Structure 1
Amino acid sequence: MKARDVMVSPVITVSENSTIHDLAKLLLANRISAVPVVDSGGKVVGIVSEADLMHRSETGTERPFSWWLALISGERALAAEYIQSHALKVKDVMATDVQKAHPDTPLVEIADMFEKKHIKRVPIVNDAGELVGIVSRANIVQAVASARPKLEISLPDTMIREKLITELKKQSWSHVHKLNATVTNGIVDLWGFAESEKERQAIRVAAESIPGVVAVNDHLMRETAFIY
């Protein structure tokens, strides 16, 4: 799947000169947690979220002054905190280092961005850099929930075993030469050794994913059990 398959479009946005008050009302009215900030040409210049509104002077939640923090962080950091809690315009609190993607970006790359960059949403821009959609973590979860199971014909026992061994040989984590599998009436019995609990679990998952498998009996042993 690609970004275009799950992205939300059109996108609710704000401008740099929108007020913090209007931003808060927009988030509440649309039940969203963040919005991209765009310029007059529709290009993304930032993103602002509810997290940017947590420590505000209007609610008395701004961070208290700390001499210790001043010594550690310096005056520049304190000035930045003051801006975050007192600014009236979106441009002063928005994040400007925005991760973006193209509509044809594979969904796996966006999932990697979420994980590696610790972000929750990615604006989608076209070749001209104009905002055309947005993908959030929730959109990927929705794609998983709406995916229909593949309609696959159950395989006979010999083919189940062959498919399992072939699949394991393709995986770098698998030590397929240390295990054996027998299949009887769709029931897979796994024998041999696994070098870790995760490998053991992954082997079971691989077996359970094969059409025609009705049960998996795990007899695998941890190789470390024999180290004294």
Structure 2
Amino acid sequence: MRHRSVGDLMTQTAVSVQRGTTFKEIARILDEFGITAVPVLDGNGCPVGVVSEADLLRRHNTGNTAADLMSHPAITATPGWSVVRAARVMEKHQIKRLPVIDSEGRLIGVLSRSDLLQLFLRRDHAIQEEILEDVLTHTLRLSPSCLTVEVTDGVVTLSGTVIRHSLVPVVLRLCRSVDGVVDVIDRLDYEQDDLSDDAGVDTR
């Protein structure tokens, strides 16, 4: 299974400003492009900070340029990051936009919260197909006929019977990791309980 990365979802044409960009120009840029924050770049095109709407609103006569107003250092990501990692970083730092840099530290894109939401706009049929083909058949080597996979608005319902009890958490975990899955409802049964204390004990 290949999960989409930051590089797959980011906006490649990133709006940015320089250290000397003025308060008024930054406000105009945010309004014109309908964004909530903009990276501040140095002379080499590397992000050194970010100016957000909040930064503009809470200025206290500290200056009138991006260098004066920005929050720094810039919290950045690379294209190879998983979207889960990016989402956790954005949540931890309470930011809505994450500058994406190349191996030289130069800005190559921006990942926003709205970009992350694209994951959950996958069609149910595409999610169902990936679970049946990639998760069950190729990864777990299970026969798709032994399980029923239903997907409604990103919610996956799994029913049917697997051979061993220990397979159930594995199936659930892999299905939850599929792009676009909102939740997984477990209605799975099993033939052998290899997780119980008595499993494998000869009671004859």
**Pairwise TM-score range, normalised by the shorter structure:** 0.5 to 0.7
Structure 1 Cα separation of the partners of residues 186 and 18 of structure 2: 52
Structure 1 Cα separation of the partners of residues 163 and 120 of structure 2: 25
Q: Deviations over 1:62-113 (max 9, x none)?
A: xxxxxxxxxxxxxxxxxxx342xxx211110101122111111111111111
- Match of residue 86 from structure 2: 110
- TM superposition shift of 1:124: 0.7
- Match of residue 36 from structure 2: 33
Contact 2:172 2:184 in 1 (8 A): no
Structure 1 Cα separation of the partners of residues 96 and 109 of structure 2: 14
Whether 1:88 and 2:91 are equivalent positions in the alignment is: no
Give the residue type in structure 2 aligned to 1:16. R
- Match of residue 136 from structure 1: 112
Change (3 A) 1:108 1:40: same
Runs ≥4 residues deviating over 6 A: 169-172
Give the aligned length. 150
Equivalent in 5, 18, 21 of residue 21 of structure 2: 18
Structure 2 Cα separation of the partners of residues 23 and 142 of structure 1: 27
- Match of residue 71 from structure 1: none
Structure 2 Cα separation of the partners of residues 164 and 34 of structure 1: 50
Mapping of residues 194-213 of structure 1, within 5 Å: 205-207=184-186
Larger Rg: 1
Equivalent in 124, 142, 149 of residue 127 of structure 2: 149
- TM superposition shift of 1:163: 7.3
Equivalent in 97, 104, 107 of residue 121 of structure 1: 97
Change (3 A) 1:124 1:145: same
**Richer in helix (by share):** 1
Structure 2 residues without counterparts, runs of 5 or longer: 133-143, 149-158, 174-182, 189-204
Whether 1:45 and 2:48 are equivalent positions in the alignment is: yes
Contact 1:3 1:105 in 2 (8 A): yes
Change (3 A) 1:117 1:170: farther
Structure 1 residues without counterparts, runs of 5 or longer: 57-80, 173-203, 211-228
- Match of residue 160 from structure 1: 160
TM-score, length-normalised on structure 2?
0.64
Mapping of residues 163-174 of structure 1, within 5 Å: 165=165, 166-168=167-169
- TM superposition shift of 1:154: 5.4
- TM superposition shift of 1:206: 3.8
Mapping of residues 214-225 of structure 1, within 5 Å: none
Contact 2:5 2:82 in 1 (8 A): yes
What SS does structure 2 have at the residue aligned with 1:160?
strand
Change (3 A) 1:163 1:47: farther
Structure 1 Cα separation of the partners of residues 164 and 30 of structure 2: 49
Structure 1 Cα separation of the partners of residues 65 and 103 of structure 2: 29
Contact 1:167 1:206 in 2 (8 A): no
- Match of residue 178 from structure 2: none
Contact 1:168 1:206 in 2 (8 A): no
Contact 1:121 1:136 in 2 (8 A): yes
**Richer in strand (by share):** 2
Give the residue type in structure 2 aligned to 1:207. D
Structure 2 Cα separation of the partners of residues 163 and 113 of structure 1: 39
- TM superposition shift of 1:29: 0.9
Structure 1 Cα separation of the partners of residues 163 and 11 of structure 2: 38
